[in-house]
């Protein structure tokens, strides 16, 4: 069940296995094992997967089978805008941003705003 839902949400968000594996800091083969049910992620990687896909652990482990995301399982009604991105660099930047703590996100935003102020 977990492995099927993991693959389903990754495909819905149009991410490659490599994108997700790189974000987790693991080999793509290891991530493939998650999707095929040959292994399960560590607690730390499970937390990261929930952040990446903006879901609660309940999404992955609930008994309900649904073709659509449940609002109780996700905090947004549509996939995040970054998932529409065509460039792998943009996807990786935004996936990694989601894993930052709030203070680090604030610093990144301040830096980006400073670049914008400089006319870049």
Which residue ranges form the domains of the chain, and what is each CATH number? Answer: 2-117 (1.10.260.40)
DSSP codes joined into one string, 31-99: HHHHHHTS----HHHHHHHHHHHTB-HHHHH-S---SS--TTTBSSSS--GGGG---HHHHHHHHHHHT
Q: Specify the pLDDT at position 110.
A: 87
Torsion of CA 66, 72, 77, 79, to 10 degrees: -70
Please give the C-alpha separations between residue 65 and each of 1, 5, 62, 73, 99, in angstroms, as whole numbers. Answer: 9, 9, 8, 12, 27
pLDDT interval class at 117 (50, 70, 90): low
Q: Specify the pLDDT at position 64.
A: 66
Q: pLDDT per residue over 5-38, tens digit each?
A: 999 999 988 889 999 999 899 999 999 999 999 9
Q: pLDDT per residue over 63-103, tens digit each?
A: 765 444 443 444 433 444 444 444 667 777 878 888 888 99
Q: pLDDT per residue over 31-47, tens digit each?
A: 999 999 999 999 999 98
Q: Specify the pLDDT at position 81.
A: 46
Q: What is the pTM of this model?
A: 0.62
- The more confidently predicted of residues 72 and 58 is 58
């Amino acid at each position: 069940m977990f492995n099927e839902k993991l693959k389903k949400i990754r495909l819905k968000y149009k991410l490659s296995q490599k994108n997700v594996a790189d974000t987790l800091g693991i080999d793509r083969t290891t991530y493939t094992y998650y999707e095929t049910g040959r292994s399960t992620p560590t607690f730390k990687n499970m937390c990261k997967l929930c952040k990446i896909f903006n879901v609660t652990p309940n999404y992955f482990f609930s008994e309900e089978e649904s073709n659509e995301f449940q609002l109780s399982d996700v905090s947004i009604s549509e996939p995040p805008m970054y998932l529409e991105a065509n460039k792998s660099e943009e996807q990786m930047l935004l996936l990694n941003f989601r894993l930052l703590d709030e203070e680090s996100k604030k610093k990144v935003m301040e830096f980006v705003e400073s670049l914008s102020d400089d006319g870049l």
